[in-house]
Amino acid sequence: GENVEQHPSTLSVQEGDSAVIKCTYSDSASNYFPWYKQELGKGPQLIIDIRSNVGEKKDQRIAVTLNKTAKHFSLHITETQPEDSAVYFCAATSRTGNQFYFGTGTSLTVIP
């Protein structure tokens, strides 16, 4: 099955700085890559996603890039704010497209 690796596992940044989280995947058939933010005690919430026919997508302070050849994708958060502090999970769809494989998560702390 698909194997998704995510780095770093923890990340601390000063408020206003940028944060970058990277994921790699193993199955070249994966074609949908969502990023989820999970705050303490809550369920994961989709923050941005990208499909395999697109190289980059941006939504205000959040952007995702995808390199299909290298099989990696990254989340970029600019001008970080304390409310960005949470655990972030990347995911990739399975070859059959009927389930996600999640990365191991990145705990982001934004220091005011």
Partner 1 sequence: DTEVTQTPKHLVMGMTNKKSLKCEQHMGHRAMYWYKQKAKKPPELMFVYSYEKLSINESVPSRFSPECPNSSLLNLHLHALQPEDSALYLCASSQGQVLDTEAFFGQGTRLTVV
Residues that bind partner 1 (CB under 8 A): 31-32, 34, 36, 41-46, 49, 51, 87, 89, 93-94, 97-100, 102-105, 107
Q: How many CB atoms lie within 10 A of CB 107?
A: 14
Q: How far is the CB of 51 from partner 1 (least distance, A)?
A: 7
Q: What's the CA gap between 107 and 81, in Å, rounded?
A: 14
Q: Which lies closer to partner 1 via its Cβ, residue 38 or residue 78? A: 38
- Please state the closest distance from residue 23 (CB atom) to partner 1, in A: 11
Identity of the residue, 41 or 112, whose beta carbon is nearer to partner 1 in the bound complex: 41
d(CA 94, CA 15): 36
Greatest CA separation found in the chain? 43
